[in-house]
Amino acid sequence: MSSTTSSFPERIELSGEGLVLRDWSEADLAAMPELFDHPDIAYWTPIVSPFDEAAARARLDRDRRLRAEGTAILLAITADGGTPLGEVMLRRAPEGTELGYAVGPAHRGQGLAARAVRVMAAYAFEQLGTEQVILELEAENAASVAVATKAGFRLLDVPLIKGEEKGRPYALQTWGLNRTSGGGG
């Protein structure tokens, strides 16, 4: 175990808002490319592209390593604990406890990302003692701005995070949700 960051539980399953957020498994590897190999995901997220079964295997292995290190958890978004519809992530970073998400193209428009983010935020507040969770997103990503708003986040008055990923520049806004402002589940 690391000196300052406690590790996450080996198994995590969170329920709420009509969703079950669960660990990725070997059985999900074949479904992951359909969720993540899409131009929108390639453009707006750091997820590798093209995303094939080899990328799925690498992502599952990386997920398990990051969890063991106490750095991040990635959970499949499901309706009932079965078929994955997307992913929600919690990462401990110097900037704070960051959440992220990606929903497969066939499953968009159902409020999955906002609901998954609220469930993961509740986990961060109740189980990890986090005071604030953040989302870092581009202002031009209208779908993510809508998710942040629907999930109760507010744009924070902090400098933009600028960088380059996959050969294109980006400028990320930071949105925050505080424990006291977060709605109970």
pLDDT tens column, 82-116: 999 999 999 998 878 999 999 999 999 999 999 99
Do residues 127 and 164 touch, judged by C-beta distance below 8 A? no
Of all residues in the chain, the percent with pLDDT exceeding 70 is 94
Query: What does pTM read for this prediction?
Result: 0.91
Residue 73: partners with Cβ closer than 8 Å, 6 or more residues away: 8, 12, 63, 66, 67, 89, 90
Average pLDDT over residues 12-37: 96
Spell out where 19-144 has E strands: 19-23, 72-78, 86-93, 96-103, 132-138
